[in-house]
Amino acid sequence: MTLNVLYFAWVRERVGLPGEKVETEAATVADLVRELAAREARYAAAFVDMTAVRVAVDQELAGLDAPLAGVREVAFFPPMTGG
Amino acid sequence: MAVRVQRENFDLGDEVAALRAGRTDIGAVVSFTGLVRDMGGRLTGFELEHYPAMTEKALAAIEAEARVRWPLQASLIVHRVGPLAPGDQIMMVATASAHRQAAFEAAEFLMDYLKSRAPFWKKETTVTGAAWVDARESDEAALERWTSRQS
């Protein structure tokens, strides 16, 4: 499947991209993170501590165990600091 | 029942006037405005980034939850994005109800959830450089009083 993967704030800065299309068979968010981290050092740097990263699946907050079947967009970002 | 994300400034008075325009059933309006503070002269400004496809959806969900919990007659969330300077307005919430308690509580609830559940990130520029603002544990802890109340 092709996923639209987005990065925000320091995750975006570490990866060096705001987003990209990713061709993957990852079953869960955690699988996708492992695939991305194995690609290049900049991805590994972004995902080195997943307790510091939040995930949204199709624009809804989700956990690392969230399944990716039928999903179109996955976003990675730090804890939110609005307000 | 409205949520807006914008780069432009807003006028609190105009927003509250629009919220209650033409209504005679509202007994209380509570509003909160968040401002950029200079932190003793250290902060020169910040940039607010957001996740456009998710932001309004997340804010609308938070607002819908508030309306389940309190008898609100109207509510509004406005949040700015882009570059902001000390003294600038960042965001506002306003809640309207027949009585003050619901309006006060709902405004606090909206703020607590907005701070850690809506996809905004602040990057501060200070005299020593730029850095992403860390989320505070106290912000996460602030949500607990609302979840414990449910049980």
Residue whose tokens read 């932190």: B39
CATH code at position A33: 3.10.20.30
Do A56 and B133 lie within an 8 Å CB cutoff? no
For chains A and B, CB pairs below 8 A equal 70
- Cα–Cα distance measured from residue B128 to residue B41, given in angstroms and rounded to the nearest whole number: 12
* CB proximity under 8 Å: A 23-82 to B: 56, 59-61, 73, 75, 77-82
Domains held by chain B: number = 1
Instruction: Name the residue range of residue A20's domain.
Output: 2-77
Please report residues of A whose CB lies closer than 8 A to that of B57.
Answer: 59-60
What does B16-27 look like in DSSP terms, one character per residue? HHHHHTT-S---
In a domain, A55, yes or no: yes
- Cα–Cα distance measured from residue B115 to residue B70, given in angstroms and rounded to the nearest whole number: 20
ipTM: 0.94
CATH code at position B38: 3.90.1170.40
DSSP E strands, A1-83: 2-7, 19-23, 54-57, 60-62, 73-77
Q: Residue B27 in 3-state DSSP?
A: coil
C-alpha dihedral sign at B10, B14, B20, B22:
negative
In Å, what is the CA distance from B115 to each residue of A7, B29, B51? 19, 21, 14
Q: Which two tokens stand for residue B119?
A: 């996809």
pLDDT, position B151: 44
Do A82 and B48 lie within an 8 Å CB cutoff? yes
Question: Among partner residues A8, A79, A83, which is closest to B49 by beta-carbon distance?
Answer: A8
Do B50 and A77 lie within an 8 Å CB cutoff? no
Domains held by chain A: number = 1
Of A9-13, A49-53, B111-115, B142-146, least confident by mean pLDDT is B142-146
Q: Is the pLDDT of residue B148 over 80?
A: no
Indicate the DSSP class of residue B40. Answer: T
Q: Is the pLDDT of residue B150 over 70?
A: no
Over residues A23-73, the pLDDT tens digits come to 999 999 999 999 999 999 999 999 999 999 999 999 999 999 999 999 999
Sheet containing B82-84: give its strands across: B82-84, B43-50, B120-126, B129-132
Phi and psi, residue A55, nearest 5°: -130, 140
Average pLDDT, chain B: 94
In a domain, A11, yes or no: yes
